[in-house]
């Protein structure tokens, strides 16, 4: 059996893990909003029309932040369509996904839902067909005390107190030619700068996310980011990254693709540091990976064309065990870059490329739900440097990768260790800890299966799920366990005295 050692030291810290790295994304796309979180006709809905079963599962994921209302959708969206008495809201032909938008869910519904769910709301403004002034007015609607036009409109719509929305995205994927209102980077920078100035003049406490390169495939990749960061200067707090990965070859190659995410983080971080250095500014943009997931089976034009329908089933990706292991791999990368990566949003949360799938009277939990939950529940603390000593393999697409991937978070006297065995055979893994003794195993869970292609479906909804893992043995200066082939394990240890 292959054997790997994960070297950890309690003093070797990368950075505090921002809880907002465990965020979600809810777009007016397909059945994400209508028939996803909101379905008044479902027997699972509450009096306000929210799907209680969906909300319960989302609560269980402990999402710290929720991005809304898009995505591509936002580049043709006018927020005023979605406020006020519902019967007076316009039914419109939505432009990004060619669907019907009834506007029955809008700003007030989403922000009230966020309060109920404990999500920090993250609103994306329309810099496609929208104007900087419209963005400013939305901040006024959400955050200004009553006494002016849009704050008074909010009060007239039933909300006296400002919502205090702190996070705002300056458009979405403006670098991509598919985006409504796509422009060259200098034009985007100038448009976003005007919006940013007006928005921050109105509420200096808000934080802004600039729309970075939409994918690493773009010819303008990194150059787009440099130009917009230089143009936006100190107005910008975060730079967005997006990536959807897929299995275009075989399982072992696919399991190495979190390397791609790690490379993207390093490259975009380098651009942020470069611009900071050139500008001689004490301030740099931090990274916000505000769309990420596995998505490749349902990406064709047909999969994403609403064809004039209301709540059409778009991009309803089905996930298997290998996808869950890749999701774990991406989360390992996020934790390992906790010093610069401050936010991330799983795209999306229900029905569209999502861990949850609904039918009117039923809910399916997909495989990728589990690694997210196992990480999210153990996210408090500082990321530790993880050095993996052990065998590796060479992925044709991503180069050399260790068979065992790892990350770790130290929070008080709790050490959380996350391990993925990417191999098709069991592996012995030793955690070698310096700086403290391991006093006890608090708990451990595993996600695995007989076949990497195993997936949950309506007839077998629990084929891939987290199970308790009882194979850890505490040894001198650490712990040891045998990880099954194709598995992800999350374990929490209580530490004793420093050694």
Q: Which residues are catalytic?
A: 173, 291
Distance (Å, rounded) from C-alpha 64 to C-alpha 114? 10
Closest approach, Cβ 75 to ligand AHR, in A, equals 9
Q: Cβ closer to ligand AHR: 39 or 291?
A: 291
Q: How far is CA 427 from CA 4, 73, 278, 361, in A?
A: 7, 45, 47, 41
Q: Cβ closer to ligand AHR: 66 or 410?
A: 66
Q: Cβ closer to ligand AHR: 357 or 374?
A: 357
Q: Cβ closer to ligand AHR: 96 or 444?
A: 96
HEC string of the chain equals: CEEEEEEEECCCEEEECCHHHCEEECCCCCCCCECCCECCCCCCECCCCEEHHHHHHHHHHCCCEEEECCCHHHHHCCHHHHCCCHHHCCCEECCCCCCEECCCCCHHHHHHHHHHHCCEEEEEECCCCCCHHHHHHHHHHHHCCCCCHHHHHHHHCCCCCCCCCCEEEECCCCCCCCCCCCCCHHHHHHHHHHHHHHHHHHCCCCEEEECCCCCCCCCCCCHHHHHHHHHHHHHCCEEEEEEEECCCCCHHHHHCCHHHHHHHHHHHHHHHHHHHHHHCCCCCCEEEEEEEEECCCCCCCHHHCCCCCECCCCCCCCCEHHHHHHHHHHHHHHHHCCCCEEEEEEECCECCCCCEEEECCEEEECCCHHHHHHHHCCCCCEEECCEEECCEEEECCCEEEECEEEEEEEECCEEEEEEEECCCCCEEEEEEEECCCEEEEEEEEEECCCCCCCECCCCCCCCCCEEECCCCEEECCEEEEEECCCEEEEEEEEECCCC
Structure-block tokens of residue 3: 């054997």
173 binds ligand AHR (CB under 6 A): yes
In the shown chain, the binding pattern of residues 265 to 304 toward ligand AHR, with x for contact by CB under 6 A and - for none, equals --------------------------x-------------
Q: Cβ closer to ligand AHR: 326 or 446?
A: 326
Stretch of residues binding ligand AHR (CB under 6 A), selected from 15-23, 47-55, 346-354, 411-419? 346-354
Distance (Å, rounded) from C-alpha 215 to C-alpha 193? 22
Residue given tokens 């996803």 in the structure block: 36
Q: Cβ closer to ligand AHR: 172 or 487?
A: 172
Among 172, 251, 376, 386, binds ligand AHR (CB under 6 A): 172
Q: Contact, 458 vs 362, CB < 8 A?
A: yes
Residues 58-97 that bind ligand AHR (CB under 6 A): 70-72
Closest approach, Cβ 132 to ligand AHR, in A, equals 20
Closest approach, Cβ 402 to ligand AHR, in A, equals 30
Closest approach, Cβ 209 to ligand AHR, in A, equals 13
Q: Cβ closer to ligand AHR: 126 or 172?
A: 172
213 binds ligand AHR (CB under 6 A): no
Among 4, 5, 18, 27, binds ligand AHR (CB under 6 A): 27
211 binds ligand AHR (CB under 6 A): no
Q: Cβ closer to ligand AHR: 72 or 351?
A: 72
Count of positions on this chain that bind ligand AHR (CB under 6 A): 11
Closest approach, Cβ 418 to ligand AHR, in A, equals 25
Closest approach, Cβ 310 to ligand AHR, in A, equals 18
Distance (Å, rounded) from C-alpha 465 to C-alpha 442? 20
366 binds ligand AHR (CB under 6 A): no
Q: At what angle do helices 52-61 and 107-117 cross, to 10 degrees?
A: 60
Closest approach, Cβ 399 to ligand AHR, in A, equals 26
| Chain position whose Cβ is nearest to ligand AHR | 71
Q: Cβ closer to ligand AHR: 232 or 346?
A: 346
348 binds ligand AHR (CB under 6 A): yes
Closest approach, Cβ 74 to ligand AHR, in A, equals 8
Among 127, 189, 347, 406, binds ligand AHR (CB under 6 A): 347
Closest approach, Cβ 40 to ligand AHR, in A, equals 25
Q: Which residues bind ligand AHR (CB under 6 A)?
A: 27, 29, 70-72, 172-173, 291, 347-348, 353
């Amino acid at each position: 059996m292959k054997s790997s050692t994960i070297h950890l030291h309690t003093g070797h810290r990368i950075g505090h893990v921002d809880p907002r790295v465990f965020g979600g994304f809810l777009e007016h796309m397909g059945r994400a909003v209508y028939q996803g979180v909101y379905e008044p006709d479902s027997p699972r809905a509450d009096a306000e029309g929210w799907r209680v079963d969906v909300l319960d599962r989302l609560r269980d994921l402990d999402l710290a932040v929720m991005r809304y209302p898009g995505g591509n959708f936002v580049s043709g969206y006018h927020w005023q369509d979605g406020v006020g008495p519902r019967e007076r809201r316009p039914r419109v032909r939505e432009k990004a996904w060619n669907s019907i938008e009834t506007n029955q869910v809008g700003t007030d519904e989403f922000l009230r839902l966020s309060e109920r769910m404990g999500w920090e709301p993250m609103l994306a403004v329309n810099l496609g067909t929208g104007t900087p002034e419209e963005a400013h007015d939305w901040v006024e609607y959400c955050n200004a005390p009553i006494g002016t036009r849009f704050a008074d409109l909010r009060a007239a719509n039933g909300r006296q107190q400002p919502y205090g929305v702190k996070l705002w995205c300056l458009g979405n994927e403006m670098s991509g030619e598919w985006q409504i209102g796509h422009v060259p980077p200098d034009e985007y920078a100038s448009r976003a700068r005007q919006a940013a100035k007006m928005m921050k003049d109105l509420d200096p406490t808000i934080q802004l996310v600039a729309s970075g390169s939409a994918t690493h495939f773009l010819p303008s990749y990194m150059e787009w980011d440099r130009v917009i960061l230089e143009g936006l200067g100190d107005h910008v707090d975060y730079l967005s990254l997006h990536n959807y990965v897929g299995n275009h070859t075989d399982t072992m190659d696919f399991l190495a693709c979190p390397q791609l995410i790690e490379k993207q983080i390093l490259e975009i971080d380098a651009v942020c540091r470069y611009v900071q250095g050139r500008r001689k500014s004490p301030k740099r943009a931090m990274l916000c990976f505000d769309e990420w997931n596995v998505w490749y089976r349902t990406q064709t034009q047909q999969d994403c064309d609403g064809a004039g329908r209301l709540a059409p089933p778009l991009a309803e990706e089905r996930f298997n065990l290998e996808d869950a292991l890749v999701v774990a791999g991406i989360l390992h990368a996020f934790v390992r870059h906790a010093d610069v990566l401050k936010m991330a949003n799983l795209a999306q949360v229900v029905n569209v490329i999502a861990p949850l799938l609904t039918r009117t009277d039923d809910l399916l939990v997909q495989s990728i739900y589990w690694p997210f939950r196992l990480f999210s529940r153990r996210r408090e603390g500082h990321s530790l440097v993880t050095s993996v000593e052990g065998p590796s393999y060479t992925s044709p697409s991503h180069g050399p990768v260790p068979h065992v991937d790892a990350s770790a978070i130290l929070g008080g006297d709790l050490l959380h260790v996350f391990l993925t065995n990417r191999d098709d055979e069991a592996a012995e893994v030793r955690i070698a800890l310096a700086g403290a003794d391991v006093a006890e195993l608090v708990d451990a869970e595993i996600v695995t299966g007989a076949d990497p292609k195993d997936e949950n479906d309506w007839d077998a909804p629990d084929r891939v799920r987290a199970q308790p893992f009882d194979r850890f043995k505490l040894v001198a200066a650490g712990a040891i366990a045998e990880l099954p082939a194709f598995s992800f394990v999350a374990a929490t240890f209580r530490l004793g005295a420093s050694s």
